[in-house]
A and B are shown apart, each in its own frame.
Chain A
């Protein structure tokens, strides 16, 4: 059955696939996760703050992001950002925003909605006595969050945050709609050039599967090890 297939095309394109494609995918995943967690934590703090208006704005944002398909958000951002940039800076022509920047901002904004819900659960899992004790010692709200609540919330939620990052790793393949050279994009390019669609897409699937599965396994191991002592 495999007689007519040429699996050597994979070997020949390994350098391009991994050094360019996978490096791009991992960079995008890492930066998006980092930005998403930071931005998501801010949104979670807004939602949990006593200020109703802030909470509503954050809630609306999360609902909006979670009700839109990611591909659509990627598209909209890519085409809208130049105009938003023009409007913000008051330039005479649309600002050119690189595809990478556009994709990165999109993923950060989109993932922040999901990360914020994770961080919110994490913050709510900390008993009220902890911030009370921190306040009683004279720590301000910001110090209480930074030194007492968030470190514990982050630790409690680390496995879930990592699992969401694995999902993000797979989602980054959607940047193909902007014709960007991520791992899947690279595989796709080679596939089209050499007419080896089956081989390349099969290989891409295996690579995503192996990486995601290994990472999930790692998260489970980690979870067993760090479950916090209290």
Chain B
């Protein structure tokens, strides 16, 4: 589904954000990407739907080359859902309008069709009652659930999560993770940048550990948590699991 091969990315001539990154996510697979901050994990996931350009290597998404200048990027992006750290709901639109906008403008669905789909998804994330409110009237956890519903409304073939719980108060993290666990169990293809190792051990198939722009470890979940091969991954794990 997602094939990342030998991707290099520089910010300016001196800073290399990604170094020869190669990995893949199969259909129905849940891959967790973790690593210290600044390790390039968010950059990598943003390269997948071309929100970040990269200089060399290639990414193939469902058979389509992402970094081909001829690729219709809006069309490609519409097929992959993305959830951001800071939710990024559109503050000037009501919750239900947030869910309808792209359905109507990108997929060309009728307003009624979009409303039905949007309401169904809001119900799924437990927020049907909030449809007529504005994003600022919702808590962080609720906003992130809306953001997930907004992405799902496009019937994506895969979902990308960029630290979906990092900006949340602790008591709101589980309501978002619950939605993500359900999604994973339904067989959604997911690439998740997160520090939530509980989520990783519950539903991930593979764990990728990044440091300094490199993929240091790319292992099955059991191997990763059982005995990480690299020192850096061991150190990282001991730091975040010791509390």
Knowing A137-B151, A147-B105, say if A132 contacts B51 (CB, 8 Å).
yes
Stretch at the interface among A111-119, A148-156, A208-216: A148-156
Asked if B67 is an interface residue, CB under 8 A from chain A, the answer is no
Asked if B202 is an interface residue, CB under 8 A from chain A, the answer is no
Complex contact B92–A137 (CB within 8 A): no
In chain A between 88 and 135, which residues have their CB closer than 8 angstroms to a CB of chain B?
127, 129-130, 132-135
Knowing A130-B88, A151-B92, A228-B92, say if A138 contacts B78 (CB, 8 Å).
yes
* Distance, CA A148 to CA B91, complexed state (A): 9
* Distance, CA A155 to CA B80, complexed state (A): 30
Chain B hits for A152, CB < 8 A: 90-92
B82 nearest CB neighbor, chain A only: A136
B150 nearest CB neighbor, chain A only: A137
* Distance, CA A230 to CA B135, complexed state (A): 7
Shortest distance between the CB of B118 and any CB in chain A (Å): 13
Shortest distance between the CB of B103 and any CB in chain A (Å): 9
* Distance, CA A165 to CA B135, complexed state (A): 31
* Distance, CA A186 to CA B209, complexed state (A): 77
Q: How many residues of B contact A (CB 8 A)?
A: 30
Q: Which of B81, B105, B134 has the most CB of A within 10 A?
A: B105
Asked if B154 is an interface residue, CB under 8 A from chain A, the answer is yes
* Distance, CA A133 to CA B151, complexed state (A): 10
Chain B hits for A68, CB < 8 A: none
A141 nearest CB neighbor, chain B only: B74
Complex contact A228–B91 (CB within 8 A): yes
Chain B hits for A140, CB < 8 A: 74
Asked if A168 is an interface residue, CB under 8 A from chain B, the answer is no
Asked if B241 is an interface residue, CB under 8 A from chain A, the answer is no
Q: Which of A133, A134, A230 has the most CB of B within 10 A?
A: A133
B46 nearest CB neighbor, chain A only: A132
Chain A hits for B51, CB < 8 A: 132, 135-136
Complex contact B102–A137 (CB within 8 A): yes
Asked if B137 is an interface residue, CB under 8 A from chain A, the answer is yes
Interfacial residues, chain B to chain A (CB-CB below 8 A): 49, 51, 73-75, 77-82, 84, 86, 88-92, 101-102, 105-107, 134-137, 150-151, 154
> 4 closest Cβ contacts across the A-B interface?
A138-B78, A133-B88, A137-B102, A229-B136
